[in-house]
Amino acid sequence: MRFSVGDEVRVRWATPPGHVRTPYYCRGLSGRIERICGQFHNPEELAYGRTGDTVVTLYRVRFQQKTLWPDYTGPEKDTVDIEVFEHWLETAQ
């Protein structure tokens, strides 16, 4: 497990083809690990019938609305929590 609760992480900027469960609107943006959800089969493999034995860690990452949408008009404190798999995350610089 690469990250701990509270770590600042950045979602990788990538646009791979196929089934991906990382929403486009958080790619390339930073948030904090809110919790570790556990180990799950990678949906990017499962979608093509590759069930295998490998599992990946799933996290919930909390983003500030103003980070996701710089023109957000609501209060600064508003947030979005998104489930993101470990291979989509890197340490925020």
Q: Does 78 bind another protein (CB under 8 A)?
A: yes
Nearest to 40 by CA among 84, 91, 89: 84
Smallest gap from residue 7 Cβ to another protein (A): 18
Closest CA to 21 of 38, 40, 5, 8: 40
Instruction: Report the alpha-carbon distance of residue 93 to residue 91 in Å, rounded.
Output: 6
Choose, by CB under 8 A, the member of 45, 83, 86, 90 that binds another protein: 83
As measured in angstroms, the least distance from the Cβ of 91 to another protein is 21
| Residue 7 falls in which region: left (phi positive, over 0), alpha (psi -120 to 50) or beta | beta
Q: In whole angstroms, give the CA distance from residue 6 to residue 44.
A: 26
Per CB under 8 A, the list member of 12, 60, 66, 87 interacting with another protein is: 60
Site for another protein in 26-55 (CB under 8 A): 37-38, 40, 43
Which residues of the shown chain bind another protein in the complex (CB under 8 A)?
21-23, 25, 37-38, 40, 43, 58, 60, 68-69, 72-75, 77-85
